[in-house]
Structure 1
């Protein structure tokens, strides 16, 4: 699922305009220049029905958009959510069954002692998916 989301996001014109290909999982490389996004799976559950596993998994993915201004972080977050929200299709061998935005949060991304203070917009989205 991670490769599928990366492919989907880095192939979107609006996300590419705002962050290029700077979509990373778990953490960004140390010298990454903002704006950029960091995604991580917060939780993941396999789905079951009365006959056993359904083959579907739901993953809560946290998306953190970082930028030098609040509005730039919000724009990147909104662009990413626009791509993933409700998306259905097959990408990189994964069947994406739908993305459902759960919540959004604003944070200062750095402490007052940091050389380059950043803004962070965080959002959680539930991604239903299955392997082909």
Structure 2
């Protein structure tokens, strides 16, 4: 799912117009250009029935939109919302709807070269399954 989700976001014209290919899982490379987006799996979202795993998943994914200004980070977060919510199939993964669970402005970070980085953090439940 992780690779397919990244591919899905990279293929979205509105989001890629802002971040290009700067979408990474877990860690943004030091000194990478902004704006950018990082993704982090927060919970597995594995669903079960009384017979065992259901084959349908709804993990919580934390998405951090990074920018050189608050406005830039906020633009990425809005483009992400439009890109991640609709259902689609990518790389053999059938994405159902994604739901925004929480959103927060994060403290400003000052880098060693004294530049300032802004971040908007959003948590989504991303529902998906492999095709039958």
TM-score in same-fold range (> 0.5): yes
What is the aligned residue count? 131
The alignment partner of 2:7 has SS state of: helix
- What 5-or-longer segments of structure 1 have no aligned partner? none
Tell me how far apart the structure 2 counterparts of residues 57 and 88 of structure 1 sit (CA, whole Å).
Answer: 14
How many angstroms does 1:114 deviate by? Answer: 5.6
5 Å-filtered alignment, 1:1-132, equals 1-85=1-85, 87-111=86-110, 115-132=114-131
- What 5-or-longer segments of structure 2 have no aligned partner? none
Preserved contact between residue 19 and residue 34 of structure 1 (Cα < 8 Å): yes
Preserved contact between residue 58 and residue 126 of structure 1 (Cα < 8 Å): yes
How many angstroms does 1:51 deviate by? Answer: 3.0
Tell me how far apart the structure 2 counterparts of residues 64 and 54 of structure 1 sit (CA, whole Å).
Answer: 29
CA RMSD, 1 decimal: 1.6
How many angstroms does 1:112 deviate by? Answer: 7.6
Moved over 3 A (4+): 111-114
Q: Deviations over 1:75-108 (max 9, x none)?
A: 10110111112x2121111111220110110013
What is the TM-score of this pair, normalised by structure 2? 0.91
Preserved contact between residue 70 and residue 118 of structure 2 (Cα < 8 Å): yes
What is the TM-score of this pair, normalised by structure 1? 0.91
